[in-house]
Amino acid sequence: MAVVRVDVAPRLLEWAVERAGWDEATTHKRAPRLDGWLTGDQKPTLKQLEQFAHATHTPFGLLFLQEPPTEPVPIPDMRTIGNAAVPRPSADLLDTIYICQARQDWYREYEREQGSDPLQYVGSATVNTPHVEAARAISHELGFDVVSRARFANYEDALRQLIDMIEGIGVLVMVSGIVGGDTHRALDPDEFRGFALSDPLAPLIFVNGADTKAAQIFTLIHEVAHVWLGGSALSDAAMVARDGVADELWCNRVAAEVLVPLSSLRSDFPGEVTQQEVTRLARRYKVSTLVILKRFFDAKFLTWDRYRDEYEAERERVIEHAGRNRGSGGNYYNTQPLRLSRHFARAVIASTFQGDTSYRDAFQLLGTRKHETFARLADEIGVA
């Protein structure tokens, strides 16, 4: 029986590799025949092309187009490098947004069936709202003030507690460093740090868990600020940005003020910027040292040039420290509720037990394949 080979435009193959984020070594390892396909010396078989599509996470039918399709980010993209828009999104980023949108759609209907009222804080601010005023409103709504943080052991504990506070006011919070449940698809924090899917009934925040814990807490509040604006957004939440989209800059200022109120910092700071003082204040406010440096600049204790130098040096130290202390990822049943949003997982499981959601749909929403895993997850989050 003759082997059927198919014609594929080289541009589509190159697009699929770029979209997957493969470097040269990965491409050579995972698609060793690609060079021959690109030059036309060989043509892929149908099975080979299917395997290539699966490996690059490319919808198979798209490989038969004449030109690579345009795949815009499905929410407003507010990431910038300088003043330039970020180039084509990766498959990992797009799939993560699509997964979260599907979860949000389900949860919105769930809330409607429960007769829930719209959340009044969603869209309650604009970029013209003074950032101190917005920060005060967020802190009050969450119950997250400087005094209350004394009970947190450190900023990692503060991050966990803050997630619970945000979910407590009705926002779904998902923190993950992978696409869905696929441990082979790690997210790149250099591509994005988080996004917000604003909605009056089911606002959702996603934080890139592949980023350092130091960065995640700032991203988390940054995305909360987007919910207050009432608009969805894909963010880089860069603490060293001076130019860019007005919404992003406003959310940065609000997040910094929530985490370290400037009036409080001025009364706590003796006046000399040292590593010891940065560390002391980070422990007091339960934030990263990078946030403290940001607030030093905001308070005019540092010039822009010195701030940039201090920030980059501290960032390298934080990344190195995080690398030394990186664990295996923890127990699945402890980390999965964080990836999914504990509130979301609880709602899906409860709805399934009540017969309103099929097990098949529940497995897809929760990213699991086995009933045993589903049952253990239900036990972990306390749904009987």
Tens-digit pLDDT profile for residues 33-66: 999 999 888 999 999 999 999 999 999 999 999 9
Domain boundaries, the chain: 1-49, 85-324, 334-381
pLDDT score at 101: 98
pLDDT score at 338: 80
Cα separation of 308 and 294, whole Å? 9
Single-letter code of the amino acid located at 118: P
Mean pLDDT (whole number) for 271-298: 90
For the whole model, what pTM was predicted? 0.90
Percentage of the chain beyond pLDDT 90 is 65
374 close to 336: Cβ distance less than 8 angstroms:
no
Cα separation of 99 and 308, whole Å? 36
228 close to 263: Cβ distance less than 8 angstroms:
no
| Phi, psi angle pair for 306, to nearest 5° | -70, -35
